[in-house]
């Protein structure tokens, strides 16, 4: 007998789960609270290539990252470049998610947009289903409904018409996070800021100050609009829980698995959904969390080194200038 699965969230983790579960399940249903798949967009759309996971559409390759270290007044202190040779690709995420939704529907998945659901509601309505997949982002639907409080990493970004051809990150001694300029797949750029340890940091003000003092406004990076959101990078363990006799498994940002170095979460959302589906196919849902960390252990180890370096500018500077950082980065990507 095939399984029956219901998924909360029609974004990257939920759609990847839908595609993978549809291969061996009798019924897969996805609920998305927004009207349209892929919108609103709260992402800088940088796809890091590692463990061989590819985006569903090809994007714009980025070959270089400029690291600029600022002083306390947001003035340039020192800078260096790291060659990344296309290991980061900028994708058009709304377009990719639309493609993923079509792939899922072609395989018999039912997707309901404009429908906000609750876990408790699902266990009542879908009591004959085998699994609920919580792909609702951060904080997870589980936390929202049952009051689990998790720290969070807030991020804000300005969309600008001016194009950028490489990624630039600005590090600031008082922010455990960074400012960034990301090119966009179809032209234009996003200038943003994330803080991993100061949830209440006045990000919009910081972003504005940084854009003024580093001369970005003068260089033509004029914000047209703003987006932002919370990045799920604090583990929401256990990933598999039980509610009203039904199993619920957390994937993507709902599981809190984006990394604390770059806030990168898209590939992790994809990998977690794939690992969950693989475990479920073998009747081993309870092993999902363990399996996920088996696949990702090396990557998180290297990411924690980068997160440490971000706070130690002198060492970062030395490694960056000697080119060693580029080598470590290529290892992390692998």
> Would strands 76-90 and 60-70 be described as parallel, antiparallel, or unpaired?
antiparallel
Nearer to ligand FAD, 154 or 320 (CB): 154
Minimum Å distance from CB 189 to ligand FAD? Answer: 12
Q: Which of 35, 54, 61, 116 binds ligand FAD (CB under 6 A)?
A: 116
Question: What is the rounded distance in angstroms from the CA atom of residue 140 to the CA atom of residue 197?
Answer: 19
- Chain positions 47 to 76 lying near ligand FAD, rule: CB under 6 A, are none
Q: How far is the CB of 232 from ligand FAD (least distance, A)?
A: 6
By CB under 6 A, residue 228 contacts ligand FAD: yes
Dihedral (CA of 196, 34, 141, 13) sign: negative
Name which of residues 21 to 40 contact ligand FAD (CB under 6 A).
31-34
Contact between 157 and ligand FAD (CB under 6 A)? yes
Q: What would the two tokens of residue 40 be?
A: 């609103």
Please list, in sequence order, all residues whose beta carbon lies within 8 angstroms of the beta carbon of residue 48, skipping any fewer than 6 positions away.
87, 88, 262, 264, 267, 333
Q: φ and ψ at 38, to 5 degrees?
A: 95, -5
Query: How near is the Cβ of 318 to ligand FAD at its closest, in Å?
Result: 27
* Residue 20 found at the interface with ligand FAD (CB under 6 A): no
Residue 133 sits at the vertex; the CA angle it makes with 129 and 138, to the nearest 5 degrees, is 150
* Cβ count near 129 (within 10 Å): 20
| DSSP result, 206-266 | HHHHHHHHTTTTTTT--EEEEEEEEE--S----SEEEETTEEEEE-GGGGT-S-TTT---H
Q: Can you tell me which residue has the tokens 């639907």?
A: 141
What part of residues 255-294 is at the interface with ligand FAD (CB under 6 A)?
258, 263-266, 269
# residues near ligand FAD by CB under 6 A: 37
Nearer to ligand FAD by C-beta: 70 or 117?
A: 117
- Residue 31 CB, nearest distance to ligand FAD (Å)? 5
Window 174-213: residues binding ligand FAD (CB under 6 A): 192
- CB-nearest residue to ligand FAD: 265
Determine the Cα–Cα distance for residues 178 and 21; give it in Å rounded to an integer.
37
Name the token pair of 215.
């001369």
Mask for 70-109, x = binds ligand FAD (CB under 6 A): ----------------------------------------
Q: What residues make contact with ligand FAD under the rule CB under 6 A?
A: 8-14, 31-34, 42-46, 116-117, 135-137, 141, 155, 157, 192, 228-229, 231, 252-254, 258, 263-266, 269
């Amino acid at each position: 007998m095939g399984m029956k699965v219901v998924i909360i969230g029609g974004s990257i983790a939920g759609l990847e789960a839908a595609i993978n579960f549809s291969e061996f399940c009798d019924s897969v249903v996805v609920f998305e609270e927004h009207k349209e798949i892929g919108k609103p967009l709260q992402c800088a759309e940088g796809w890091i290539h590692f463990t061989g996971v590819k985006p569903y559409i090809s994007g714009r390759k980025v070959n270089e990252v400029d690291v600029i270290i600022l002083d306390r007044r947001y003035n340039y202190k020192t800078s260096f470049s790291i060659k990344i040779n296309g290991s980061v690709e900028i994708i058009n995420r709304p377009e990719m998610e639309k493609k993923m939704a079509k792939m899922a529907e072609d395989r018999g998945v039912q997707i309901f947009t404009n429908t906000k659901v609750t876990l408790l509601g699902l266990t009542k309505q879908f009591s004959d289903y085998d699994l609920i997949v919580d792909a609702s982002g951060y904080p997870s639907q589980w936390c929202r409904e049952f009051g689990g409080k998790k720290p969070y990493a807030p991020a804000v970004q300005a969309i600008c018409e001016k194009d950028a051809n490489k990624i630039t990150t600005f590090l600031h001694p008082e922010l455990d996070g960074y400012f960034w300029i990301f090119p966009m797949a179809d032209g234009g750029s996003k200038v943003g800021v994330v803080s991993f340890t100061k949830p209440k940091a006045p990000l919009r003000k910081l972003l504005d100050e940084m854009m003024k003092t580093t001369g970005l406004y003068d260089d033509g990076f004029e914000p047209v609009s703003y987006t932002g959101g919370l990045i799920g990078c604090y583990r929401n363990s256990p990933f598999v829980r039980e509610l009203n006799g039904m199993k619920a498994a957390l994937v993507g940002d709902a599981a809190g698995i984006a990394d604390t170095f770059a806030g990168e979460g898209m590939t992790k959302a994809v990998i977690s959904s794939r690992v969950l589906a693989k475990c479920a196919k073998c009747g081993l849902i309870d092993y999902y969390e363990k399996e996920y960390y088996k696949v990702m252990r090396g990557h998180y180890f290297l990411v924690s080194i980068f997160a440490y370096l971000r706070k130690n500018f002198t060492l970062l500077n030395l490694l960056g200038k000697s080119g060693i950082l580029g080598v470590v980065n290529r290892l992390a990507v692998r």
